[in-house]
Homo-oligomer: A and B are copies of this chain.
Amino acid sequence: MSYHILDERSVADYLRALPAVMDRFSKGAELDAKEVGDGNLNLVFIVSNRFSPAEKVVVKQAVPYLRIAGEGWPLSRHRMRFESQALLLHNRLVPGLAPAVFYVDDEMSVVVMEWLGRHEILRKRLIAREVFPHLGDHLSTFLAETLFRTSDCYLSAAEKKSLQSAYINTELCKITEDFVFTNPYMTSPENRWNHEIDAQAKDLRANKHLKLAILEMKELFMCNSQALVHGDLHTGSIMVNQEQTRVLDPEFAFLGPMGFDVGAVLANLATSYCSHFVHTADAGERNAYQEYLIRTMKGVWEGFAMKFEALWSTNNTGSLCPDPYWQFPSGSQAFAEFRFRYLRAVLRDTAGMGGCKMMRRVLGIAHVAEFESIADPVRRAQPERMALRVGSRWVQERESFKGVDDLIGVLLEETSSPTQG
């Protein structure tokens, strides 16, 4: 079907012609659609069966402009191809950790997927101090499986190149290059920040050592095609309930450094940690929840590293270092050492990438709800300053980090006297 923009009426007609979608509904279903997209980029419809409203699917369609800015900011709708092919890959690699996909239509820039009515956005639930006991386990599995199985540790050279050619995601990479790695640290019209932290913003934008370190991370982001990364793995791209975790919205997917995804998760947990100095007045409650966040950071990194190591040592099928390369006395120790060094390098990238992500959420165009929901700018400045200090140290000290405890140590140090906020 040639491209046209769907609306609440036409989306139902569109779905009725798709058996793979109608199979999700009882026989004789009448479809009602409601547009609910609050994002910046896409139309999102929830389509339900009038006779059995619990039967629902989600229809996501890209429009050929940046929705938040209107038709004056064109953005190719072909970005939906990156999202749908990444979702299909995640369905295959980590079923249950991404929304189930029922139908993909590249012509229409449409993907039809599972309705996540029993799940909520993780970022909001972290503000509300909800504990998700499986979160670290689920996210570390998502990271280990998706990153390992799209890297040269697992894929043949031809498979990797074919992945690379399918994920040259020019437009959305450029958004990240600008809004995560460049503009927040210089004068740029779209930047906005709390004027209570004017002094810190100014200092940071003139900190030569920090800016050189950020640029090293940008270069890595632009030039390192280590694995297929999600590319936007913040806590707003994760939906959860007590049993399940779903990672969504992989439209930024491209071949990049693994640390960009792992760092996004850790940075967002650290941001939440900082925010609770304001959100949670009761010290006991605050400590308990912050300990949970730290445990989850540890669980994400250590789970990721352990699962990645286990996958690699038992599935060394990739073209990076075929088994015969290790056939010499002490070869298996050498391979173990290579895997160890590889993961230590991912940790350092994680710190560097995560640090940029923390800072840009305070200084750049896109902010986070855990800070924005603090109405008083004086109070909001406290966790914002913490996030800047932690992010800045993560980027600059990354080469010295040997484990996730080093990242957590910086977070604890920089938040230990909240009054200095």
Contacts and interface: CB of A to CB of B under 8 A. Distances in A.
Interface of A: 152, 157-158, 160-162, 164-165, 168, 170, 173-174, 177, 182, 185-188, 205-206, 208, 211-212, 215, 218-219, 222-226, 319-322, 324-325, 327-331, 333-334, 337-338, 341
B161 A168 contact: yes
16 contacts: A152-B219, A152-B223, A157-B174, A161-B170, A165-B165, A177-B319, A186-B327, A187-B327, A206-B329, A208-B330, A212-B334, A212-B337, A212-B338, A215-B338, A223-B224, A224-B225
A334 B208 contact: yes
A334 B223 contact: no
A147 to B, nearest CB: 13
Contacts of A158: 170, 174
Nearest to A318: B222
A-B pairs, top 7 by smallest CB distance, nearest first, are A206-B328, A161-B170, A208-B334, A157-B174, A165-B168, A186-B325, A186-B324
B341 A212 contact: yes
Contact of A322 (B168, B182, B330, B333): B182
A242 to B, nearest CB: 39
Chain A interface main SS type: helix
A222 B321 CA distance: 12
A294 B195 CA distance: 59
Nearest to A226: B223
Report how many copies the assembly holds: 2
Contacts of A320: 215, 218-219, 222
Given A164-B164, A206-B328, A208-B330, 13 more contacts: A152-B219, A152-B222, A182-B321, A206-B329, A208-B328, A208-B334, A215-B321, A218-B320, A219-B320, A222-B319, A222-B320, A223-B224, A223-B225
A63 B218 CA distance: 41
Contact of A170 (B157, B215, B327): B157
A415 B212 CA distance: 39
A177 to B, nearest CB: 6
Nearest to A185: B325
A158 B208 CA distance: 28
Contacts of A212: 334, 337-338, 341
A334 B205 CA distance: 12
A191 to B, nearest CB: 12
Nearest to A328: B206
A157 to B, nearest CB: 5
Nearest to A255: B223
Contacts of A337: 208, 212
Contacts of A164: 164, 168
Nearest to A333: B208
A148 B331 CA distance: 39
A343 to B, nearest CB: 13
A212 B320 CA distance: 12
